[in-house]
Structure 1
Amino acid sequence: MTKIGIILGSTRPGRNGEAVARWVHEVASQRTDAEFEIVDVLDYKLPVLDEAYPASLGNYTQPHTQAWAQKIASFDGYIIVTPEYNRSVPGALKNAIDFLYAEWNNKAVGFVAYGSLGGGRAVEHLRGIAGELQMADVRSQVALSLFTDFENFSVFKPADIQRETLVTTLDQVVAWSKALAPLRAS
């Protein structure tokens, strides 16, 4: 069975991402073509990158890096849930991504973002990062507005159209994850 990790990329206290990730998981769990699991970056307590060697060498020496690598390697693709902070991705998410290399390779990735402009600028940065990590980013993305998909900027109430967009994003991530399987096997 294809396994997709739903990566919750914000570690901020009071973050909106938890509700968004749960919504993604709830919608995704109704599918029968893949298994889905929320992976919360906060749970891994990753310090600022503290590995002596570049991630591309795969010489991970820290126990937290090894645990993170094992979890990320267990998936065939990802949905990254991210806020937009200062026109980009949260530092904790970028740091978590930078810890690893081969574990990301030849896997599909889709994005569910939120912010004042729907998180689009964070997604554009993530697309460039994904390319460097040999990930296939899908076209469809969910762009949640703090003005229209959240009540008082904090209570998540997505518009109906967002569910349709999420389903399309999930369709693409699952299909591409399956299509990339031969590359992961070699």
Structure 2
Amino acid sequence: MTRPILHTLICSTRPGRVGPAVAEWANAVAMSHAGFDARLVDLAAFRLPVFDEPEHPRLGRYVHEHTKAWSSSVKEADAFLFVLPEYNYGPPGALINALNFLVREWQYKAVGFVSYGGMSGGIRSVQVTKGLLTTLKVVPMLEAVAIPFVEQQLQAEGGIAANSIHVAAATTMLSELLRWTEALRILRA
């Protein structure tokens, strides 16, 4: 059996974001876990405008190339690792918009979280995102990684200085994510 495909999704799209540094670390941990075929995906690369499809996404009749590319990417993945900041106690608007573009492509997949931010480490963003995901029949993991005061952990040469607590949390989360991904395989078939 082939390893399930995990998309480590950089959920922030703003200029100057630290998401890529955090996501590169998270994706490296996922690759070393060896349970997944881990791939780094940048939401900004899809250049999704505010939802602009003329028909409801549950129909899957997309007319715009950006939607078709996004659909293909989400469909390819068996599971996701969302790397997201917290904006005003919630997730980035770009992520909410990206979730709304699709329906069937999300169903029966599991999502783990690596959140970052100030004192809260982005955990409020994760909580809001979980509610949105369950509407799409996505299983959000309880286990997660929260990186508070992320600015203090950025390294001059790039990347973040994650500590052993972050690595242990990520390993535990990825193991649980793998269990759910394998269990949901039947529903995705």
Question: Which TM-score bucket, shorter chain as reference?
Answer: over 0.9
AA at the equivalent of 1:146: F
Change (3 A) 1:136 1:51: same
User: 1:151 Cα deviation (Å)?
Assistant: 5.0
> 2:25 touches 2:160 (CA, 8 Å); kept in 1?
no
TM-score, with normalisation over the residues of structure 1? 0.94
Q: What does residue range 148-163 of structure 1 map to in structure 2 within 5 Å?
A: 150-151=153-154, 156-163=160-167
> 1:129 — aligned with what?
132
AA at the equivalent of 1:45: R
TM-score, with normalisation over the residues of structure 2? 0.92
User: 1:33 Cα deviation (Å)?
Assistant: 2.0
Q: Are 2:106 and 1:104 equivalent residues in the alignment? A: yes
AA at the equivalent of 1:134: K
> 2:94 — aligned with what?
92
Q: Are 2:178 and 1:180 equivalent residues in the alignment? A: no
**Counterparts of 1:49 and 1:68, CA distance in 2:** 12
User: 1:34 Cα deviation (Å)?
Assistant: 1.5
**Counterparts of 2:63 and 2:186, CA distance in 1:** 29
> 1:83 touches 1:115 (CA, 8 Å); kept in 2?
yes
**Counterparts of 1:36 and 1:155, CA distance in 2:** 18
> 2:4 touches 2:78 (CA, 8 Å); kept in 1?
yes
- 1:114 pairs with one of 113, 116, 120: 116
**Counterparts of 1:35 and 1:98, CA distance in 2:** 26
Runs of 4+ in 1 over 6 A off after TM superposition: none
> 1:10 touches 1:82 (CA, 8 Å); kept in 2?
yes
> 2:141 — aligned with what?
138
> 1:106 touches 1:180 (CA, 8 Å); kept in 2?
yes
> 1:49 touches 1:99 (CA, 8 Å); kept in 2?
yes
Corresponding residue pairs, total = 184
> 2:6 touches 2:81 (CA, 8 Å); kept in 1?
yes
> 1:149 touches 1:158 (CA, 8 Å); kept in 2?
no
User: 1:156 Cα deviation (Å)?
Assistant: 2.5
Q: Are 2:81 and 1:70 equivalent residues in the alignment? A: no
**Counterparts of 1:26 and 1:179, CA distance in 2:** 24
> 1:61 — aligned with what?
63
> 2:154 touches 2:161 (CA, 8 Å); kept in 1?
yes
**Counterparts of 2:150 and 2:35, CA distance in 1:** 33
AA at the equivalent of 1:145: P
**Counterparts of 2:114 and 2:150, CA distance in 1:** 16
Change (3 A) 1:71 1:155: closer
Q: Are 2:8 and 1:6 equivalent residues in the alignment? A: yes
AA at the equivalent of 1:165: A
> 1:25 — aligned with what?
27
> 1:80 touches 1:109 (CA, 8 Å); kept in 2?
yes
Identify unmatched segments of 5+ residues in structure 2.
none
SS at match of 1:180: helix
